[in-house]
Every structure is written in structure tokens, then in C-alpha cells.
């Protein structure tokens, strides 16, 4: 049998384009169209930029940066989704510098780690985030981080732009150079800075945006409510919108009521989101009174996608659901298409994007597996990161000599080339010599009435080596978990060794900033005796 391998279509061709080129292209197409809208609660408070205005501010930003730093320097952004984030993102790119995104929820030691790891020269910080002062903390790093030369508050951003010398020439930027350093979400340990090139990001989002748009709206309005320090927002949403010459509406932090209001008032046509927040949106009382008919496409990713959520989105809103698979190190890898069947949308992550190769490898032998067999997902192509900044050991561990990025995800390809993700390689449970893939069990648990979310992990056992344990989060109206009933239901579909031997009900899960469950933290918490086992 042929190996499980698939390559995306050979067109459109890969363009030699920078992030700055992406913005200039949008200006040439739609100079007076709204490029950026601040998603404030009151319409009168929503600041707006046309593409012409956004480019003017971005070029001023680039010139101001060149007065205090040099091309190739790392410039960090520590802020929520404020509109100035986009001005700075394009300004950094036009200056030939490298943007480093920092989670605004980080505490001082975490920010210090990011600044030191990426050798940041300039740090832009919001004045506040939630109840904390950011600028004050940022200034305290000036004496601690040796490479850090300047700290600039976004409260002074207008003055910073005004300081630009309009006669300063902007540099020529090589599309092959690094445009951004984005830190991995850290599900298994200390975050690493993935270096993404201009060429990788601009082509990947261009190919994905055309698929996601998948409708009659030529220049869509895209709602960005995921945090901008994450690839799904600063790259997929922001740059995808620019490629389509659409309008980006940013939300400082997710609020279901505000998101629903913005969909109605700004006539949002597209959004990308994680399942947990979509469920929060659909369950909000305002979902039944707001006009959501403009919403055409919703891209889901970042976690296990419950099939019921895909069906509910279509049934209630009539939207096209698109399931994407990607990672910080490779952006979009696969995605479903608008014409895919409901079964493919509910059960797969679709087909590779143009020029993207995907294979399934045996994680022990490195051999290619056959269709239907479960192994590690590996991918190769222009979309793969250049490596981890200042971490050659981690880079060589992730990317082999043939250029294949080892994702650490378990998956399978069917005969058509559709990818199905089965979980993380590190999450695989080996019970008495049998491989157990948690995702298979989690998907069935989430179909049980009252269970909103489930995480299946392996716990140490003297006899089996590992046993299967289920940690579940119940809905607000759910009664006590009936373990015998749930177990009996699972036995109808699953082999005995896959049935959880231990059950725990949790209030919530430890998560990465992008919403992924940190299973290693669940195991650590269990090891400390902080979870109470449910008894049959």
C-alpha cells in the first residue's frame, strides 16, 4: 500500500512578498476602504483607519523606529488587541525589523524571559491591562535586560509617530528574512521563539484567506477577538484581512455580549475562534436577539472541535464552518473547504494548503505509515518556520535533515488525503502495551449530556504502566456525573482497555493563552492530590 502522504495544489504560485508589501497591495486595491476598526462598545467610540491612513501611520512608525533601532532588531509588543498593534505590526515590517509578541497577561518574570530570549531592543507596552500596570513593569526591565534599549508606552504612541522624519528612506526588505518571533504556547514546557519569515506568513495567509472567504463577499469584514500575541490573530486574521483588502475589527479582549453586538453593528462576515469561546457566544442570551445574518464563515481551530458545535453553527446561524489545523511553527497546514461534507467538517481537518506537504510517520522508526494508520504528523514546505531563535538544539529536534517539521501531533490520513488529528504524541497513553489515543475518548465524552469538555490523560500505574483517567467539566445545569452510566455507554463503542479507570470532575482546566488544555499540569495537580476522584 502507498504511504500516507499528500501535497497541496501547486497553485497559486508562491509570491515573493513581505508583510509591508501586503499592506501596500491592499492600499492599491482599496485605498479608501476601512482597513481597521476599534471594536469599542459604543459605535461613537470606534476609531477607524482607511487603508491609506493605515499605511501612512505604519510608514511613520517605521521611520520613527529607524531613528532608535536598526533593521534586524527585535521589537516587542506587550499589549491587548488595541488598534495601534496593527500600526506597529506593519511599521516593524516596513522598517525591516522583527516583531516579538508578548502575552499582556504575563507577569514581570515572564516578560523578562521573552525579552531576554528574543534579545529585544525596543519594548512597546500598553499603559494597563485589566487591573495591572504594564508600562511601569516594562520600564523596570531597562536595568535588568542588557539588550533592551528603549521602552515606549502606547499612551505616547501618537507622539512617537509624530517624531518620524518623513525624508528617512525605508529599507528594502528580503521576503526570506524573519518578520516575527512568536512564542510557542508551552503545552509541554518553556516556550520557544519560532522565527517566521515574510514569505512564509504572507503566502500562507493568502492561500488560507481565499479558502476561508469561500463566499460572495469580495472584501470581507473580519472580527479578531483572539489575542494578537497569538498567530491566529496577528497573522491569520490581521494579514488575511489585508490580503483580501477587507476590514479588520479588533476586540481588546473577548466578551460574548460585545462580540455579538459587533457582528450585528459592523456586519461581520468572517471570524476565527476557538471552540470554547464560540460556545460561550452561542449560549449567551443576546445570541437570540442580535442580527447575526451577516456572519458567513467561522474558522475553528486551536483545540478539539466537537462535531456538535459544527452542526449547531450551521443550524442556528447558517454559517460555513471551516476546520483548520496548524501551529505556531507552521501556521496553516490543512483546512476544510466550504464544499466539504458535514462529516468531513465534523471529523477531519481537511486537505493541505497549496505547496504544503503532509505525511504520517511512525514516531519510533521514522517510516511512512499507510492511510488510516495513526502516527506523527510531519509537514514540509515554505510555511515551516526558519527555526527557534537562539535554540539550535530544539530546532534540529523539530526539523529533520530533509526539512520535515515534526509536529508532535498524532494523526492519520485517509485515502483522499484528509487529515484527522488523534491527539498529541506526548499525550498518547500506553496501557499494558496497548496504545490509547485520548482524543477518541474525549470526543465521545463530549457527546454525553452535561459534559461540556473532557481531557483524558494517562496516570502512572504499577501493573499497567499507565491507566486511562478522564477529567471532565460539566455544564452549569448538569447534575452529578453518573460514572456507571457513562462507562456503560463508552463500552458500546470502545474496547475495554480504552475505558477510563479513574474519573474526576473539575471546575476548569489549566490552559495555554490560546485556550489549549495543559495536560501535563493536570497530571502534576493530580500528583499533588488536588483532584478528588469520583466514585462509582
pLDDT digits (tens, 9 = 90+) for 258-298: 999 999 999 999 999 888 789 889 999 999 999 999 999 99
Is 513's pLDDT higher than 80? Answer: no
**214 CB burial (10 A radius; 0-12, 13-18, 19+):** middle
460/432: higher pLDDT: 460
Q: What is the mean pLDDT of residues 3-24?
A: 94
Residue with cell 487603508: 51
428/220: higher pLDDT: 220
pLDDT of residue 215: 64
CA distance 308 to 303: 14
pLDDT of residue 432: 80
Reported as a pLDDT band with limits 50, 70 and 90, residue 2 is low
Reported as a pLDDT band with limits 50, 70 and 90, residue 140 is very high
pLDDT of residue 461: 86
Number of H helices, E strands in the chain: 17, 28
Is 186's pLDDT higher than 70? Answer: no
pLDDT of residue 6: 94
Domains by residue range for the chain, with CATH: 19-173+216-295 (3.40.50.12780), 428-527 (3.30.300.30)
Q: What is the mean pLDDT of residues 476-502?
A: 91
Reported as a pLDDT band with limits 50, 70 and 90, residue 514 is low
HSE-CB for 379 with a 13 A CA cutoff: 30
| Percent of the chain whose pLDDT exceeds 70 | 97
Reported as a pLDDT band with limits 50, 70 and 90, residue 26 is very high
Q: What is the DSSP string of 269-304?
A: -EEEE-HHHHHHHHHSGGGGTS--TT--EEEE-SS-
CA distance 20 to 23: 5
Is 21's pLDDT higher than 80? Answer: yes
438/65: higher pLDDT: 65
Is 187's pLDDT higher than 60? Answer: no
Is 304's pLDDT higher than 80? Answer: no
Give the model confidence (pLDDT) of 33-73 as tens digits.
999 999 999 999 999 999 999 999 999 999 999 999 999 99
- Look up residue 87 and give its three cell numbers: 500600526
Reported as a pLDDT band with limits 50, 70 and 90, residue 4 is confident
For the ranges 183-197, 357-371, 432-446, the one whose mean pLDDT is highest? 357-371
The CA dihedral of 394, 398, 399, 401, to the nearest 10 degrees, is 80
pLDDT of residue 32: 98
Is 358's pLDDT higher than 60? Answer: yes
pLDDT of residue 98: 98
Q: CA triplet 383, 386, 392: central angle to 5 degrees? A: 145
Is 536's pLDDT higher than 70? Answer: no
CA distance 21 to 243: 10
CA distance 320 to 264: 17
pLDDT of residue 1: 56
Q: What is the mean pLDDT of residues 444-470?
A: 91
Is 141's pLDDT higher than 70? Answer: yes
Neighbours of 100 (CB within 10 A): 27
The CA dihedral of 214, 220, 221, 224, to the nearest 10 degrees, is 50
Is 181's pLDDT higher than 90? Answer: yes
419-424 and 128-129 beta bridge pairing:
unpaired
pLDDT of residue 9: 95
CA distance 114 to 136: 17
Give the model confidence (pLDDT) of 207-253 as tens digits.
998 888 756 667 899 999 999 999 999 999 999 999 999 999 999 98
pLDDT of residue 214: 58
Q: What is the DSSP string of 446-490?
A: TTSTTEEEEEEEEEEETTTEEEEEEEEEE-TT-----HHHHHHHH
The CA dihedral of 78, 166, 250, 15, to the nearest 10 degrees, is -100
pLDDT of residue 335: 95
Dihedrals φ, ψ of 121, to 5°?
Answer: -95, -35
Residues 6 or more apart whose CB falls under 8 angstroms from that of 223 comprise 39, 237, 249, 251, 259, 262, 263, 266, 268, 270, 271
Q: What is the mean pLDDT of residues 473-481?
A: 90
CA distance 92 to 74: 9
Is 171's pLDDT higher than 80? Answer: yes
The closest of 355, 362, 370 to 403, measured between CA atoms, is 355
| Cβ 178 vs Cβ 386: under 8 Å | yes
Dihedrals φ, ψ of 495, to 5°?
Answer: -65, 150
Reported as a pLDDT band with limits 50, 70 and 90, residue 173 is very high
Is 338's pLDDT higher than 60? Answer: yes
46/363: higher pLDDT: 46
Is 167's pLDDT higher than 80? Answer: yes
Is 22's pLDDT higher than 80? Answer: yes
pLDDT of residue 476: 87
Give the mean pLDDT of the chain.
Answer: 92
Report how far apart, in Å, the C-alpha atoms of 24 and of each of 16, 37, 173, 197, 223 are: 14, 18, 14, 18, 21
Amino acid at each position: 500500500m502507498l504511504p500516507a502522504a499528500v501535497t497541496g495544489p501547486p497553485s497559486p504560485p508562491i509570491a515573493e512578498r513581505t508583510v509591508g508589501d501586503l499592506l501596500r497591495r491592499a492600499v492599491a486595491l482599496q485605498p479608501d476602504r476601512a482597513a481597521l476598526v476599534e471594536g469599542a462598545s459604543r459605535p461613537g467610540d470606534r476609531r477607524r483607519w482607511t487603508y491609506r491612513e493605515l499605511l501612512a501611520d505604519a510608514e511613520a512608525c517605521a521611520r520613527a523606529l529607524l531613528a532608535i533601532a536598526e533593521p534586524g532588531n527585535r521589537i516587542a509588543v506587550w499589549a491587548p488587541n488595541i488598534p495601534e498593534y496593527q500600526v506597529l505590526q506593519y511599521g516593524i515590517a516596513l522598517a525591516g525589523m522583527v516583531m516579538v509578541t508578548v502575552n499582556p497577561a504575563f507577569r514581570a518574570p515572564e516578560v523578562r524571559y521573552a525579552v531576554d530570549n528574543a534579545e529585544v531592543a525596543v519594548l512597546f507596552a500598553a499603559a494597563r491591562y485589566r487591573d495591572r500596570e504594564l508600562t511601569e513593569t516594562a520600564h523596570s526591565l531597562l536595568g535588568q535586560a542588557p539588550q533592551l534599549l528603549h521602552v515606549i508606552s502606547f499612551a505616547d504612541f501618537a507622539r512617537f509617530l509624530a517624531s518620524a522624519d518623513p525624508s528617512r528612506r525605508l529599507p528594502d526588505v528580503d521576503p526570506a528574512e524573519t518578520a516575527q518571533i512568536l512564542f510557542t504556547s508551552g503545552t509541554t514546557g518553556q516556550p520557544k521563539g519560532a522565527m517566521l519569515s515574510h514569505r512564509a506568513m504572507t503566502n500562507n495567509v493568502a492561500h488560507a484567506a481565499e479558502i476561508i472567504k469561500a463566499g460572495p463577499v469580495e472584501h470581507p469584514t473580519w472580527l479578531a477577538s483572539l489575542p494578537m500575541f497569538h498567530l491566529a490573530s496577528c497573522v491569520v486574521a490581521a494579514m488575511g484581512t489585508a490580503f483580501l483588502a477587507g476590514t479588520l475589527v479588533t476586540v481588546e479582549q473577548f466578551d460574548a455580549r460585545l462580540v455579538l453586538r459587533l457582528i450585528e453593528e459592523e456586519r461581520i462576515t468572517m471570524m476565527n475562534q476557538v471552540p470554547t469561546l464560540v460556545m460561550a457566544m452561542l449560549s449567551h442570551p443576546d445570541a437570540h436577539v442580535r442580527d447575526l445574518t451577516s456572519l458567513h464563515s467561522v474558522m475553528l481551530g486551536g483545540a478539539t472541535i466537537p462535531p456538535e458545535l459544527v452542526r449547531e453553527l450551521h443550524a442556528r446561524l447558517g454559517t460555513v464552518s471551516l476546520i483548520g489545523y496548524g501551529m505556531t511553527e507552521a501556521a496553516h497546514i490543512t483546512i476544510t473547504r466550504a464544499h466539504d461534507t458535514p462529516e468531513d467538517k465534523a471529523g477531519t481537518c481537511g486537505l493541505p494548503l497549496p505547496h504544503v506537504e503532509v505525511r504520517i510517520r511512525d514516531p519510533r522508526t521514522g517510516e511512512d505509515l499507510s492511510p488510516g494508520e495513526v502516527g506523527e504528523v510531519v509537514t514540509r514546505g515554505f510555511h515551516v518556520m526558519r527555526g527557534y531563535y537562539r535554540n539550535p538544539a530544539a530546532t534540529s529536534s523539530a526539523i529533520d535533515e530533509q526539512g520535515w517539521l515534526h509536529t508532535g501531533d498524532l494523526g492519520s490520513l485517509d485515502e483522499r488525503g484528509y487529515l484527522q488529528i488523534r491527539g498529541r504524541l506526548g499525550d498518547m497513553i500506553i496501557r499494558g502495551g496497548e496504545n490509547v489515543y485520548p482524543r477518541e475518548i474525549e470526543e465521545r465524552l463530549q457527546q454525553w449530556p452535561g459534559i461540556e469538555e473532557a481531557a483524558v490523560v494517562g496516570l502512572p500505574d504499577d501493573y499497567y504502566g499507565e491507566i486511562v483517567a478522564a477529567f471532565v467539566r460539566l455544564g452549569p445545569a448538569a447534575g452529578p456525573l453518573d460514572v456507571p452510566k457513562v462507562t456503560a455507554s463508552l463500552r458500546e463503542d470502545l474496547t475495554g482497555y480504552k475505558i477510563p479507570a479513574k474519573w474526576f470532575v473539575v471546575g476548569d482546566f489549566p490552559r495555554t493563552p490560546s485556550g489549549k488544555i495543559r495536560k501535563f499540569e493536570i497530571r502534576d495537580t493530580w500528583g499533588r492530590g488536588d483532584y478528588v476522584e469520583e466514585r462509582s
